[in-house]
């Protein structure tokens, strides 16, 4: 069943110089148990797309459906993890994780155990009373992750979540996110990851949507059939990375040639 359906999405902004089109005719689906990555050059509207899907913003035309219901306000079944962590400096780790639950109106007796559960799941045990400024970047993003998971969303939206972290921390966090996604007893069902790091997309996702330069259009949807854990140094991995990279750099020419869904293993 398609959890999310995006149909013919267009987004443009009004500015002094007239109308600027950010996205054109974006259509795709996210099924449950999907791990979908969206890559593209900077400015192609990937982050805007994520906000449109969550309902933080409204498209100029086109529709977004979550479980067949149109998304016209912020969807509480999706939760976002931010590139800059977006933790509230005056709240402790526990209070930050409880943030979404408070907004949903959960009673205090239920919030406590729920927060504890996800604090432990994300490896933050012992830091419940710490403030974000006392944590390193990796720990802060874990708090962001815990906060998103605590509301038990069906879809986890991630906006370049690892780009502000050093490579080692980012790698361990990626593995954690994969584990969480694969665990049937833990949210989320599906993950939508926006990133400019192509290797990261190939390593994590089942399907990679490649966007063109502004105005962003879907160049291709590349399926990644490699078994997990994925070896970065394998030939198949390199091929896929190359393919996506050339799709992005060729941009307009790829569009002119017609976007075709391509499977793994094809070369050239």
Partner 1 sequence: MTEATMVRPVTRGSSSSAVAESDADRDHDANRARPSKNFLPSAGRSLLIYAALPVVAGALLFADTGTSISGILAYFPSATVDVSYSFLRMLAAYALSLGFSLAYGYYAATHRGGERVMIPVLDILQSVPILGFFPFAVAVLAAATPGSFLGPNFASVFLIFTSMAWNMVFGVYESLKTLPGDLKEAADTFGLRGYLLFRRVLFPATVNRLVYNSVLSWTAGWFFLVEAEIFTTNNSNALQGIGSYLSFAASASNGGKFLAGIIVLVVVIALLDFAVWRPLGHWAERFRYDQAPAGDTGEIAPGRDASGRFRRATSFVTRGVRTGVSRITVPFVQLAAITVRPGRVSSARRKSVIYYLSLGSILVVVWLLLIALVVAVIGVYTAPIQGSVRAQIAMVPLAIGASTLRVVAAYAICLAIALPLAMHIARSSRANRVGLPIIEVIASFPATALFPVIIFQLLPYLSPNGAAVLMLMTGMMWYLFFNILSGIRSLPPDLVEAARAYGLKGRKFFRRVLLPGIFPALITGSVTAFGGGWNTLIVAEYLSVGSGQSLSVLGVGQLIDIGNGLGQTGYALMATALFALVGTVIAINELIWKPLYRRAATQYRYD
Instruction: Return the range that interacts with partner 1 (CB under 8 A); candidates 72-80, 185-193, 199-207, 208-216.
Output: 72-80
Among 130, 186, 255, 259, binds partner 1 (CB under 8 A): 130
Among 27, 43, 70, 88, binds partner 1 (CB under 8 A): 88
Please, which of residues 6-25 interact with partner 1 by CB under 8 A?
A: 13-16, 20, 22
Residue 139 within binding range of partner 1, rule CB under 8 A: yes
Q: Which DSSP symbol is given to 71?
A: -
**Between 104 and 231, whose beta carbon lies closer to partner 1?**
104
**SS3 assignment for 227-265:** CCCCCCCCHHHHHHHHHHHHHHHHCHHHHHCCCCCECCC
CA 185 → CA 22, 151, 188, 190, distances in Å? 38, 14, 9, 13
Residue 136 within binding range of partner 1, rule CB under 8 A: yes
Q: List 262's β-bridge partners, or say none.
A: 222
Reduced to 3 states (helix: H, G, I; strand: E, B; else coil), residue 101 is helix
- Burial code (b: 16+ CB inside 10 Å, e: under 16) for 95-105 equals bbbbbbbeeee
**Between 17 and 260, whose beta carbon lies closer to partner 1?**
17
Q: List 159's β-bridge partners, or say none.
A: 194
Q: What are phi and psi of 100, to 5 degrees?
A: -70, -35
Residue 125 within binding range of partner 1, rule CB under 8 A: yes
Contacts with partner 1, 168-207, as mask; x by CB under 8 A: xx--x---x-------------------------------
Beta carbons within 10 angstroms of residue 16's beta carbon: 4
Among 2, 56, 223, 255, binds partner 1 (CB under 8 A): 56
Beta carbons within 10 angstroms of residue 175's beta carbon: 13
Min separation Cβ 128 and partner 1, Å: 5
Min separation Cβ 230 and partner 1, Å: 21
Min separation Cβ 49 and partner 1, Å: 14
Chain positions contacting partner 1, by CB under 8 A? 13-16, 20, 22, 51, 54, 56-58, 74, 76, 79-80, 82-92, 99-100, 102-104, 123-140, 147, 151, 164-166, 168-169, 172, 176
């Amino acid at each position: 069943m398609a959890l999310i359906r995006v149909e013919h999405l267009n987004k443009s902004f009004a500015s002094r110089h007239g109308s600027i089109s950010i996205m054109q005719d974006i259509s795709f689906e996210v099924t449950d148990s999907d791990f979908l990555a969206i890559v593209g050059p900077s400015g192609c509207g990937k982050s805007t797309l994520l906000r449109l899907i969550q309902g933080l913003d409204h498209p100029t035309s086109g529709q977004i459906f979550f479980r067949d219901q149109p998304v016209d306000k912020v969807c509480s079944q999706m939760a976002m993890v931010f590139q800059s962590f977006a933790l509230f400096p005056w709240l402790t780790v526990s209070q930050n994780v409880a943030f979404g639950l408070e907004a949903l109106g959960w009673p205090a007796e239920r919030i406590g155990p729920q927060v504890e559960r996800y604090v432990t799941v994300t490896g933050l045990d012992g830091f419940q009373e710490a403030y974000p400024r006392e944590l390193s970047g990796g720990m802060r993003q874990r708090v962001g992750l815990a906060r998103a998971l605590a509301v038990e969303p069906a879809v986890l939206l991630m906006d370049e979540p690892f780009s502000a972290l050093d490579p080692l921390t980012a790698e361990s966090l990626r593995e954690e996110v994969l584990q969480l996604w694969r665990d049937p007893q833990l949210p989320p069902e599906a993950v939508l990851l926006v990133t400019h790091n192509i290797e990261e997309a190939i390593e994590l996702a089942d399907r990679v949507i490649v966007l063109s330069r502004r105005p962003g259009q879907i160049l291709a949807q590349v399926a990644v059939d490699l078994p997990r854990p994925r070896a970065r140094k394998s030939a198949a991995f390199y091929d896929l990375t190359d393919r996506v990279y050339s799709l992005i750099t060729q941009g307009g020419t790829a569009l002119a040639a017609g976007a075709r869904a391509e499977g793994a293993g094809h070369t050239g």
